Amino acid sequence: MQDKVIKIIAETLEIDPAEIKMESNLMSDLGLESLDLVDLVVAFEEELGTEIADQDIKTIQTVGDIVKYAETHQK
Amino acid sequence: MMKRLIRAGDFDLLVREGVDKYDLLRELFVSCGLDGVVLSKNAGGGLVADNNSVYVSVSDCGELAVAALSLAGPIGVDIQGGSARPRVARKFFSERELLLDFNLVWARKEAYAKWLGTGLTNASLAVDTCDLNFYEFNLADDGFDDYYIALFGNDTTTKTEGARIEDGGLPGSGTRDRMLED
């Protein structure tokens, strides 16, 4: 799951996967803007079958948070 | 470095290259004689004045920042440029929105969500912005071809018509009712 999440993030943000660590903060380390975040959420839905509810998005801060969320919510 | 002041309806909007959006907001406040207002963030992340005496919204994208204020009611502003996101458009854009520039529609959706005060949610993104009235501006004349600004407020009963755009410096304080020359 970790590799899949990193691959999706790298493709969406067009950055080197090696720059993406589990502890990377989406906003401060990876520089996500709101559109990037929405794009990522849709990508996770399409590619992992994981829907992230509105109220859960605010709790996701790091790449590791996404991996955990995907592992527990994957359909 | 690009810098423009836009006045339309009941709002003032300042867009500028190479500055922080909050610094830009302070600059806009000073230009309007409102530099004593204290701001805080609400639960949705929006900026709120201490006594609702002024309504503000800020946004940035790349090297451009925008700040807007109104004395009449809540506003939401957004600036967007860069590559289109087909996945996002497929999921959230209506058939009419799909016919428009991606960055324009996205700027509208963010501006609307800021006006609502909820931040981006599935519900706010599902709203067809073609059913709403926005002030909207393209920055092609300033060399930012694919950048759009959208502003939504209580009085956006017309679209771009009526906006006055001033090059360069700020107007004198206390002159926010003055109509600028074309």
pTM of the complete model beyond 0.90: no
Residue B44 confidence class, pLDDT cut points 50, 70, 90:
low
Quick: pLDDT tens for B59-116: 999 899 999 998 888 899 999 999 999 999 999 999 999 999 999 999 999 999 999 8
ipTM reported for the complex, 2 dp:
0.85
Per-residue pLDDT reduced to its tens digit, B164-177: 444 433 333 333 33
Instruction: Collect all residues of chain B within an 8 Å Cβ-Cβ radius of residue A31.
Output: none
pLDDT (0 to 100) of residue B8: 73
Task: Specify whether the CB–CB gap between B153 and B70 falls below 8 A.
Answer: yes
Ramachandran angles phi, psi of B13, nearest 5°: -135, 130
What's the pLDDT score for residue B172?
Answer: 32
On whether the CB atoms of residues A53 and A68 are closer than 8 A, the answer is no
Shortest Cα distance, chain A CAs vs residue B7, angstroms: 26
Q: What is the largest CA-CA distance in chain A?
A: 30
A75 falls in which pLDDT band (50, 70, 90)? low
Comparing alpha-carbon positions, the chain B residue that sits nearest to A12 is B85
